[in-house]
Amino acid sequence: MKCNYCSQMTNRNLTLAEIFLPKKIVSEQLCSQCTQKFQLLKTKGTCQGCQRQTQNRYCSDCLKWQQLYPQYDFHHEALFSYNQAMQEWFEEYKFKGNYRLRYSFVSFLQAYFKQKRGFIVIPMPISKERLAVRGFNQVEGLLEAAEIDYQPYLVRFADGHSQVTKTRSERLQLVQPFELTKEGQKVVSNKSILLVDDIYTTGRTIFHGAQVILENHPAKLYTFSLAR
């Protein structure tokens, strides 16, 4: 098999599921060398709000978010650190449009979402303008590659300029760009919701998404990103 990222040939043992269900074989996974470049986040010694490394219960950012959203029991989880290797991977996938890379973290995503059965998964949307340029929603691509069911209940009505060029303060000052679809407004009430993004930086984007979902009174709302 060929590594999804570096394209080098690699060998691995097939699982029983792949042997008896050949359609489930994912031929494009990371080789061991590429996998080692990506740093899994620790679960101990981290902020209970956003998983940032800290010896305190909450980091300074999450203390500020608690002041803005006092009724929201915020809990965000991520799999990987947004280190240099992950930045380069996102450059290839998200900005250069290498859509094949959506398969890179399938096994990690499937293991995580297996623990979240019963949740309605809602991906963070991108604007129509951004979709026209990029050609795909990077979050939906990751979920589809990992065969994770999701519902596109959240839409972005404001043009989404890339946040890569924005400073931290500029990101925090962004106005609400999201809204729930009419179907979403009916469904999320009293349901367990998992809001999914690709990268967590300041938290501003995902809190905007969470805000419109909270207005429709879900039973539980957690958030998740591939990296932070």
**43-78+118-227 is classed CATH 3.40.50:** yes
- Residue 81's alpha-carbon distances to 22, 104, 176, 211, in angstroms, are 33, 15, 27, 25
Burial class (CB in 10 A: 0-12, 13-18, 19+), 153: buried
Does residue 196 contact residue 228 with C-beta atoms inside 8 Å? no
User: Tens-of-pLDDT digits for all 228 residues of the chain?
Assistant: 788 899 887 765 655 655 565 554 455 678 889 999 999 998 889 999 999 999 999 999 999 999 999 999 999 999 999 999 999 999 999 999 999 999 999 999 999 999 999 999 999 999 999 999 999 999 999 999 999 999 999 999 876 555 555 555 555 566 889 999 999 999 999 999 999 999 999 899 999 999 999 999 999 999 999 999
* Three-state DSSP class for residue 32: helix
Distance CA 188, CA 220 (A): 10
Phi, psi angle pair for 200, to nearest 5°: -105, 120
Q: d(Cα 185, Cα 28) in Å, to the nearest integer? A: 37
* Ranges of H-type helices in 103-224: 106-114, 128-134, 138-145, 168-172, 182-187, 204-214
Q: Can you give the length of the chain in residues? A: 228
pLDDT of 29: 79
Predicted TM-score (pTM) of the model is: 0.87
Please give the Cα distance from 122 to 48 (Å, whole number).
22
Domain range list for the chain:
43-78+118-227
CA–CA separation, 179 vs 214, rounded Å? 11
Which residue, 153, 157, 210, 203, is CA-closest to 181? 153
